[in-house]
């Protein structure tokens, strides 16, 4: 039986053989790095568009919810649908006549006390805006109210909502009247 041995290449022979491979490896590493940078930039830009789309969707949903509630509130003199937007617990409410911040059932009872005393105004939601932070939405808007077409009042409103299933639950509401414009 004959044995064959292959001589081991010398260090110089290995270096000479790999001399052309090193530049190709550097080029390949550069291409991979450029592709990774492009992927990261694309993900960041796509994430920004997604955030803007999420805010636009949330604003649409919150305006629709508020409109449905206020339509009932003013047409039926019934605040139960407004109270129905609230989460079950850990909620707050404040307005100029509430005597301060009301929490939980006290907030809901205060709002329910308006049932039967709400005039049948028409209204317009003006300048709605939303800021999202995860599943929390800060929803701001003004409500201009009219009686027979004549303006009767304006409210500035800030509500904080949390995503609940496919909708939004309110956890805080603050209604205030704008300060009169200074005469000058």
Cα–Cα nearest to 87, from 167, 176, 175, 174: 167
Tell me, yes or no, whether 183 lies in a domain. Answer: no
Integer Cα distance of 121 and 146 in angstroms: 6
Chunked into runs of 10 residues, the chain (184 residues) has average pLDDT values of: 60 60 61 61 59 93 96 92 94 96 96 93 96 96 94 95 93 90 64
Integer Cα distance of 174 and 9 in angstroms: 82
Tell me, yes or no, whether 105 lies in a domain. Answer: yes
Contact call for residues 174 and 98 (beta carbons, < 8 A): no
When divided into structural domains, the chain yields a total of: 1
Tell me, yes or no, whether 54 lies in a domain. Answer: yes
Tell me, yes or no, whether 21 lies in a domain. Answer: no
3-state secondary structure of 153: strand
Strand ranges for the chain from DSSP E: 92-94, 102-103, 122-133, 136-147, 150-164, 167-176
Integer Cα distance of 137 and 160 in angstroms: 6
The CATH number that applies at residue 71 is 3.10.450.50
Integer Cα distance of 153 and 157 in angstroms: 13
pLDDT of residue 178: 85
Integer Cα distance of 83 and 173 in angstroms: 11
Domain that holds residue 145: 37-176
pLDDT of residue 41: 56
Tell me, yes or no, whether 117 lies in a domain. Answer: yes
3-state secondary structure of 173: strand
The dihedral formed by the CA atoms of 128, 132, 136 and 140, expressed in degrees to the nearest 10 = -20
Torsion sign, CA atoms 28, 34, 40, 46: negative
Tell me, yes or no, whether 6 lies in a domain. Answer: no
Tell me, yes or no, whether 80 lies in a domain. Answer: yes
């Amino acid at each position: 039986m004959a044995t064959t041995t292959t001589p081991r290449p010398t260090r110089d022979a290995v270096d000479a053989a790999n001399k052309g491979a090193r530049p190709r490896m550097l080029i390949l590493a550069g291409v991979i790095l450029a592709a990774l940078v492009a992927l990261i930039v694309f993900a960041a830009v796509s994430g920004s568009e997604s955030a803007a789309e999420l805010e636009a969707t949330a604003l649409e949903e919150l305006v629709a919810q508020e409109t449905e509630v206020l339509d009932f509130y003013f047409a039926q003199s019934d605040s139960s649908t407004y109270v129905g937007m609230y989460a079950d617990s850990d909620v707050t409410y404040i307005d100029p006549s509430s005597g301060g911040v009301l929490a939980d059932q006290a907030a809901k009872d205060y709002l329910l006390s308006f049932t039967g005393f709400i005039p049948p105004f028409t209204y317009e939601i003006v300048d709605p805006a939303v800021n999202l932070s995860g599943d929390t939405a800060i929803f701001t808007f003004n409500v201009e109210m009219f009686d027979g077409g004549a303006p009767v009042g304006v409210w500035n409103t800030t509500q904080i909502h949390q995503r609940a299933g496919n909708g939004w639950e309110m956890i805080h509401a603050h209604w205030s009247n704008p300060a009169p414009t200074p005469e000058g």
